[in-house]
Chain A
């Protein structure tokens, strides 16, 4: 797979590591009470879809930026690559 890095252009998958579903950006608020169920769901449950999947990749052997890659899990086709920092600034900060 080649990942089209928004700043560096197409880079080989071997330069990256993957964390998983981009929903991991939306961590429950640790300061609120009664969050046990929310943290269980956050930590352990996954949609694991067939088809489009937004996921977090880390350019570890490159510029060390976090990317949000939209990828088809059935064909491995990548349709969109964004800088995670830009998305977080737009959609709101993780707590």
Chain B
């Protein structure tokens, strides 16, 4: 079933009875070629690229809950490629380019909105750091524009420019950054993968791996044992728990990150704005709600909800940069479990166990990476070679001293 304007009009006149479920509900088969564990954004994108670009036939996705119930439905929907280090920048720029053709490739409306991402700076030193980052972005084929205070006042007159402690001097603007509806990303990939023959199996939790002589032959699940030649694990916050079943310890801690939405307001925020002096970022959804967030809570958590201390911290950041936000009422807030790696960068690599491949450590930046993560992980699963844009995301880079430490924070996962 392909979507088109004609189809929408026809359905409007016939009571919307012709729409069908976007994916099948197949029973698990006893054996597949490749099994992707985790039906979030990354797992779905991986299966989609395995089927579409690498022409793999028998693929299944195993999801312990329902599709789209984890971090793919809990993030703040922002995509951007404003990184400093080349290993990161080329990967995230690849991702941004894939976002730009996501809707056409998948024939699915995801309400993509490239309204730009502005990182505010508050001192001369911070401006210089942002200039360097902007140059790194340009070198890697992304877009970056340095805004001075006058430029910024025209775009965002409502910011607190004259804050005594953190005056706003300007910003680094990536016009191609923006937001995309996160649920539609999950549904779009699921529909496309399903049409290519991928079995999406929900309510199927992996409880163990059958490993013999260092090779994995099957997974044990609550719906029986399923064999495959290769297993790709993309389970974000649950990475340590799932990989512990294979006897592996990871350079990852799971932390909770909270997000917030205000009541619906008329359009006011152009694009995404981030506070450079604290950790606070904000955008406005198509429904009008202000969508914002800040730091992780800082302690290990699998709870998908946070505590008051960080709620206050985020709101203080919002009041500091944008005092008008105090007039808006908070409508909803929630938490997601982040797989915080030790250097703040992700892992897309083989594991010491033959047949098991790992994708994780996305910290709180996994959503924007979804298409590139899926494509690079599919490349690794299909060819046994790292994708050229993900060669640095190795599992053993901590052992070898090849960290990709974008923030320069060292081995401290709750600071990334």
Contacts and interface: CB of A to CB of B under 8 A. Distances in A.
Interface of A: 1, 12-14, 17-18, 20-21, 40-41, 43-50, 53, 55, 71, 73-76
Contact of A44 (B244, B299, B309, B411): B411
A37 to B, nearest CB: 8
Given A20-B413, A44-B411, 15 more contacts: A1-B309, A13-B307, A17-B298, A44-B398, A46-B249, A46-B251, A46-B252, A47-B244, A47-B249, A48-B240, A48-B252, A48-B253, A73-B303, A76-B301, A76-B303
Interface string B396-413: 001100000000000111
Interface string B242-269: 0010000111111000000000000000
A71 B303 CA distance: 12
Counting chain A CB atoms within 10 Å of each CB, the highest count among B252, B301, B414 belongs to B301
B250 A48 contact: yes
A43 to B, nearest CB: 5
A74 B414 CA distance: 17
5 contacts: A1-B307, A1-B309, A43-B411, A46-B252, A71-B299
A49 B244 CA distance: 9
A73 B240 CA distance: 13
Contacts of A71: 299
Nearest to B243: A48
A12 B312 CA distance: 13
A13 B249 CA distance: 29
Contacts of A21: 300
A74 B302 contact: yes
Contacts of B252: 46, 48
Q: Which of A47, A71, A75 has the most CB of B within 10 A?
A: A47
Contacts of B399: 40, 44
Contacts of B250: 45-46, 48
Nearest to A45: B249
Given A43-B411, A44-B398, A73-B254, A55 B240 contact: no
Contact of B309 (A13, A41, A55): A13
A48 B301 CA distance: 9
Nearest to B397: A44
Contact of A46 (B253, B298, B303, B312): B253
A35 B251 CA distance: 18
Contacts of A73: 254, 300-303
Contact of B299 (A12, A18, A43): A18
Interface string B183-224: 000000000000000000000000000000000000000000
A6 to B, nearest CB: 19
B147 interface: no
